[in-house]
Amino acid sequence: MAFQKVGKVDEVPEGKSKVFEVGNRPIAVCNFEGKLYGIEDVCTHDGASFNASALIGCEIECPRHGARFDVTNGKVTDLPAVMPVETFEVRIDGDDIEIDV
């Protein structure tokens, strides 16, 4: 695996998320309490994008059916999803966001 630069830190304010394309894979970078987390941008319930959703605490909600996932570990926190989303390590280099894919 290798870290790839995807954007700048100021593109993802606290409590928000932003989707970046890494290769041809969409990854949502989420800012929870000043720390960045990377999750696959695909709801495991029906394949929907999180569409740069605002966070609800440490959770992100699918806009289609309301499934929620903990952005810190990818685990499901609310149905109808039952499978977790994949997570990715995120690091900051200066003001650059890098994701390990």
> How many CB atoms sit inside 10 A of residue 70's CB?
20
pTM of the model: 0.93
Instruction: Show the tokens assigned to 54.
Output: 């605002």
State pLDDT tens for residues 26-67: 999 999 999 999 999 999 998 889 986 889 999 999 998 899
pLDDT for the residue numbered 46: 87
Per-residue model confidence (pLDDT) at position 75? 98
Distance CA 20, CA 64 (A): 20
Mean pLDDT for all residues in the chain: 94
Strand locations in 2-95 (E)? 3-8, 17-22, 25-32, 35-40, 59-61, 68-70, 76-78, 87-88, 90-93
Domain 3-100 coded CATH 2.102.10.10:
yes
Separation between Cα atoms, residue 9 and residue 45, nearest integer Å: 29
Decide if 75 contacts 84 (C-beta within 8 A).
yes
In angstroms, the CA 84 to CA 27 distance is 14
Q: What is the pLDDT of residue 40?
A: 96
pLDDT at residue 64, as a whole number:
86
What pLDDT score was predicted for residue 14? 95
Confidence of residue 1 (pLDDT cuts 50, 70, 90): low
Percent of the chain with pLDDT over 70: 98
